[in-house]
Amino acid sequence: SAVQTPAASDEPQRIKRQAISAEPSALDPSQLTDVTFTSYHKTKDQSLVGPCVQILTIMDCMRPTSLAKGCCVIQEGDDGSTVYVLEEGMVEVTKQGRKLCSIGPGKVFGELAILYNCTRTATVTALTDIRLWAIDRQGFQTIMMRTGLIKHSQYTDFLRSVPSFQSLPEDVLSKLADVLEETHYSDGDYIIRQGATGDTCFIISEGQVRIQQDSSAGCDLRGQTLSKGDWFGEQALKGEDVRTASVTAVGDVTCLVIDRESFKHLIGGLDDVNNKQPDSDEVKAKSAEADFFSSVS
Ligand code: CMP
C-alpha cells in the first residue's frame, strides 16, 4: 500500500526553504495560485500577507521525502490525508490498471481525496527516483483558505480601481469579489456569441476584447475594443437574455464573471451600468472610419 512519508529533518527543510523562496513558480500555479503574487495585500483579518509570508506558510506545512523508482506513493482506494508536490523525477497516474498520465516536477497530486473527502481516486507510482514534498490535510486546507482570502483581496482592490465601481460601498465590493469567477481566454476565443442566450456579465481584468455585431442587426460595432476595467455582456442581463453582439479575445484575456442575480443585486443600479451606450456616435464614427480604410486598402 502507499508509503508513509518520514518525519522531516531540519536540514533539508532549511535548504529547501531557500530554494523554493527563490523560485516560488516551481509550484503548480493551478493548485497554489497565489504563491507568485507580487504585492502585499490586507486580508479580512487585516493581517499583512505577501509572497514571503505565503511561501513560509506553505513551507511550514511541507515535509520533504525521497522515494526510489517503482515505489507506490498513493494507492487507489486508500484513505488519504496527504497532498504532494513533486520536486524531482516523474510519477505515473493509473486507474484500475489503466494509465491516465505522467506527472513531472513542480506539479501537485493527491489533492482530490482531500478536496472531496473521498478515497484515493487513482494510484501514483514513481517512474524514477523522486523527491517530493508532502503537505498534510490541515496544511493544505490552510493554504487553500489563505489563497482564497488573498484572491478576494486582489479582486476587491481591482474592482475599487474600476472607475464605474468607485461609488460602490466596501461591503458591496466585497460581496462582488465573493461571487466573481475568473475565466481565461486565448487569442480569437469567442467569449460571447451574438444570438446566444446568456446570463453572465464580464469585467476585463487582463487583456483586450473585440466586439463584433452582425450588421443586419442595424448597429455595427466592428473595430471596437475594450480593455482592462471595461465590462461587457450586461445588455443580456437587463432585458432580453439574447446576446446582442459577439465578443472575442485579442491575445490572452482574463475576465471576472458575474452571474445575473449578483449583477442585478449588486451593480444593476449603477448609473454607469444603466447609461452604457454601446452604439455611441463615437463608436459609429470609429466603425465608419475602419470601413473607409478597409475599402481603400
Ligand atoms: P487523489 O485522488 O487524492 O490521489 C490520486 C491522485 O491522482 C489524485 O488525487 C490526483 O492528484 C491524481 N489524478 C487522478 N486522476 C487524474 C487524472 N485524470 N489526471 C491527472 N491526475 C489525476
pTM higher than the cut 0.80? no
Please provide residue 225's backbone torsions phi and psi, each rounded to the nearest 5 degrees: -120, 150
Give the HSE-up count for residue 29: Cα atoms under 13 Å, Cβ half-sphere.
Answer: 5
Residue 182 three-state SS:
strand
Grid look-up 502507499 returns 2
Helix 10-22 / helix 51-60 crossing angle, nearest 10 deg:
150
Give residue 274's pLDDT.
61
- Residue 57 CA to ligand 1 center (angstroms) comes to 24
Whether ligand 1 lies within 6 angstroms of the CB of 133 is answered as: no
Query: For atom 13 of ligand 1, which residue has the closest CA?
Result: 122
Q: Name the β-bridge partners of 249.
A: 209
Whether ligand 1 lies within 6 angstroms of the CB of 113 is answered as: yes
Grid look-up 476584447 returns 209
- Residue 21 CA to ligand 1 center (angstroms) comes to 27
Please provide residue 193's backbone torsions phi and psi, each rounded to the nearest 5 degrees: -115, 130
Nearest ligand 1 atom, CA 109: 11
CA distance 167 to 268: 13
Contacts 24+ apart (CB under 8 A), 25-29: 26/87, 26/105, 26/106, 27/58, 27/85, 27/106, 27/108, 28/85, 28/106, 28/107, 28/108
- Residue 178 CA to ligand 1 center (angstroms) comes to 28
Q: CB within 8 A of 283, min separation 6: which ones? A: 221, 224
The one-character DSSP state at 71 is -
Cβ atoms within 10 Å, residue 295: 7
Q: What's the count of helices (H) and strands (E) in the chain, helices before strands?
A: 9, 16
Give residue 276's pLDDT.
61
| Alpha-carbon dihedral sign for residues 231, 235, 241, 246 | negative
Q: CB within 8 A of 256, min separation 6: which ones? A: 155, 158, 180, 181, 182, 183, 202, 203, 205
Whether ligand 1 lies within 6 angstroms of the CB of 94 is answered as: no
Nearest ligand 1 atom, CA 80: 3
CA distance 250 to 189: 8
Give residue 292's pLDDT.
44
Whether ligand 1 lies within 6 angstroms of the CB of 84 is answered as: no
Query: For atom 17 of ligand 1, which residue has the closest CA?
Result: 100
Query: For atom 6 of ligand 1, which residue has the closest CA?
Result: 110
Helix spans in the chain (H): 10-22, 51-60, 112-115, 137-161, 170-179, 235-238, 260-262, 271-274, 281-296
Q: How far is CA 93 from CA 103, 105, 140, 180, in A?
A: 8, 14, 21, 33
Cβ atoms within 10 Å, residue 205: 19
Which cell goes with 245? Answer: 453582439
Grid look-up 475576465 returns 255
- Residue 93 CA to ligand 1 center (angstroms) comes to 7
The one-character DSSP state at 197 is B
Give residue 125's pLDDT.
98
Residue 131 three-state SS:
strand
Which cell goes with 169? Answer: 460601498
- Mind listing the pLDDT tens digit of every residue in the chain (297 residues)? 455 443 332 222 322 322 232 223 333 333 332 222 222 333 333 344 445 565 676 777 889 999 999 999 999 999 999 999 999 999 999 999 999 999 999 999 999 999 888 999 999 999 999 999 999 988 888 888 878 888 899 999 999 998 888 888 999 999 999 999 999 999 999 999 999 988 899 999 999 999 998 866 555 555 699 999 999 998 887 776 789 899 999 999 999 999 888 888 888 777 666 666 544 445 445 444 444 444 444
- The answer to whether 247 and 190 have CB atoms below 8 angstroms apart is yes
